[in-house]
Chain A
């Protein structure tokens, strides 16, 4: 199975900050990488698919980049509703696997 490693596992930031989360795959996954946001008590919600394509309805302050093994999720100007946990997930090779998550907390 492809291992997905996210860093950091948690971070603290102010409203308005720029935040970057990294996801690394144990082997090349081309651009088959998705990002999800999850709030407590809720299911994950898709933010970005195919590494850089913004899902419908997702604010443009979210962006994704990368290919191969290294990917980033960037949130420009963090908003109060963005404090949540973020997960990456690869669809390159079955089974689909997820990163361990990055918790974004209010500083």
Chain B
């Protein structure tokens, strides 16, 4: 069975840092496109970052230069390092696997195997 367990959230002051983790079982993190998606009551669901199997990484403009996505293959774990946090980064952060279903045109993908989410609160 697939399981994804997120951790690392908490309360941090503006300008602070946190590292979020998603430990996966049932599939290999390094063989998949893995994303972070965050959710706030005000802005809804927002894609944050992705890491490709080959190691390429991409970020939303809102977090570029402040957040870093990475993985530890030996631990089958995905990470998101959050630096220089702002109040507007307050959200529940989810990790998710991107699935490109077989037989579909290139570009069709969806998010599946989500972690349970971890709450990041940025406040003084």
Beta-carbon contact of B44 and A91 below 8 Å: no
Beta-carbon contact of B45 and A89 below 8 Å: yes
- Across the interface, which residues of A come within 8 angstroms of B44, CB to CB? 87, 98-101
Within 8 Å of chain A (Cβ to Cβ): is B47?
yes
Checking B47, B96, B108, B112 against A95 with a beta-carbon cut-off of 8 angstroms, the contacting residue is B47
Shortest Cβ gap from A45 to chain B (Å): 8
Beta-carbon contact of A32 and B114 below 8 Å: no
Number of interface residues of B (CB under 8 A): 22
CB-CB nearest in chain A for B92: A43
Q: Which B residues are within 8 Å of any A CB, using their own CB?
A: 35, 44-47, 58, 60, 94, 96, 101, 104-105, 107-112, 114-117
Q: Which A residues are within 8 Å of any B CB, using their own CB?
A: 30-32, 34, 36, 42-46, 49-50, 53, 55, 87, 89, 91-92, 94-101
A-B contact pairs, 11 of them (CB 8 A): A30-B107, A43-B116, A44-B114, A45-B114, A49-B104, A55-B110, A92-B107, A96-B111, A97-B47, A98-B47, A100-B44
